[in-house]
Amino acid sequence: MNKKYRAMQIVAPGVLEMTERPIPAPGPDEVLIRIEACGVCGADLRDAEKAPQEGQPGRIPGHEIVGFIARKGDSVPDIWQTGQRVGIGRLGGYCQHCRPCRSGLFHLCENQLTPGLSCDGGYAEYVVMRHTALIAIPSALSSVHAAPILCAGTATFNALRNSGARAGDRVVVLGMGGLGHMAVQYACKMGLEVTVIARGSEKERAAFELGAHHYIDALEENAPERLKNNGGVDFIVATAPASDTVSTLLSALAPRGKAILLGTGQTPLQITPGMMIGAERTLTGSFVSTPVQTERALQFSHLFQALPVTEPLTFERANEALNRLRMGQVRYRIVLTMNQDN
């Protein structure tokens, strides 16, 4: 093994630069991972906009990491072995002792690390991470396909799986980006009737190819009125940070319908309490899930071939990947690859 590794670090808000660092040794409860692939997520844009702290090395972005355990600490349990292929998602390892952890809510840990934000991430050849973050990758999935499922996949899969939706229910997927294109596939494979709402007609064909049953161009149609005229919908999965659109769509929810927020944004929702109370509608959020639940998303993706649409790029082109994501030119997930010989 080489003594140094390459990485793309943040040197200014939104700007990455190649650097070389000594390969770190894992602590007692950590593993060193030789990275093979890392997906590029919308959250990476926000992470990369944070200026480096003075006197500190630039943060390395990336949190859809797939690679192989190169070294493990003495306290890492034997379920993880050197050479095993593993993944890391947005959650960098729970602490095991805070109140959410003690309640089994490991994904809501109060001391969770966040790769690419509070610790270094996957735009690199190596990364060190807590063993509690590790996710086993099915051998049948390629690393390029597996990487986006560790964030976009598990977020949408678990939102739908825990929603209470049953086969035949009607669901709206708002947005057809990295999360939305996975939500469409999962919802269809779960037996739901899927309507996609997006801005413009350019994503209509892709929505139908991924299994959607209906498509609404929000620029040309009154989406709430069309949905209400068709009997309303049981669930809304909002993958895009479009608070105004979500606010107007709530009126199209059937009695006891549920809207699930996945896309984050800064604009408040506009909600009339009576509209929610009178029909007993629900508005909730959903976060990425635990390592075990993410493993279920990976297995489901393999069994039912609900796979991300990916474009591999070498990790040296990380700036290009972020710029294309910033301009909305990605369909639907860029995955950075590290072709290492060591």
pLDDT tens digits in sequence order for the chain, 342 residues long = 679 999 999 999 999 999 999 999 999 999 999 999 999 999 999 999 998 888 889 999 999 999 999 999 999 999 999 999 999 999 999 999 999 999 999 999 999 999 999 999 999 999 999 999 999 999 999 999 999 999 999 999 999 999 999 999 999 999 999 999 999 999 999 999 999 999 999 999 999 999 999 999 999 999 999 999 999 999 999 998 888 999 999 999 999 999 999 987 778 999 989 989 999 999 999 999 999 999 999 999 999 999 999 999 999 999 999 999 999 999 999 999 997 654
Where do the domains of the chain lie, and which CATH numbers do they carry? Answer: 4-151+289-337 (3.90.180.10), 163-285 (3.40.50.720)
Reading phi first (left if > 0) and then psi (alpha if -120 to 50, else beta), residue 319 is in alpha
What's residue 342's pLDDT?
42
What's residue 87's pLDDT?
98
What's residue 35's pLDDT?
98
What's residue 110's pLDDT?
96
What's residue 265's pLDDT?
75
Tokens for 329, please give them. 């030119």
Closest CA to 193 of 232, 138, 250: 232
Residue 55 near residue 101, CB atoms below 8 Å: no
The model's pTM: 0.95
What's residue 306's pLDDT?
98
- Cα(49)–Cα(64) distance, integer angstroms: 18
Tokens for 321, please give them. 């990947």
Residue 127 near residue 35, CB atoms below 8 Å: yes
**Per-residue CA distances from 192 to 49, 76, 198, 238 (Å):** 38, 41, 19, 16
What's residue 134's pLDDT?
98
Query: Which SS3 state, helix, strand or coil, does residue 231 take?
Result: coil
- Cα(65)–Cα(70) distance, integer angstroms: 14
Q: How many DSSP H helices and E strands does the chain contain? A: 11, 15
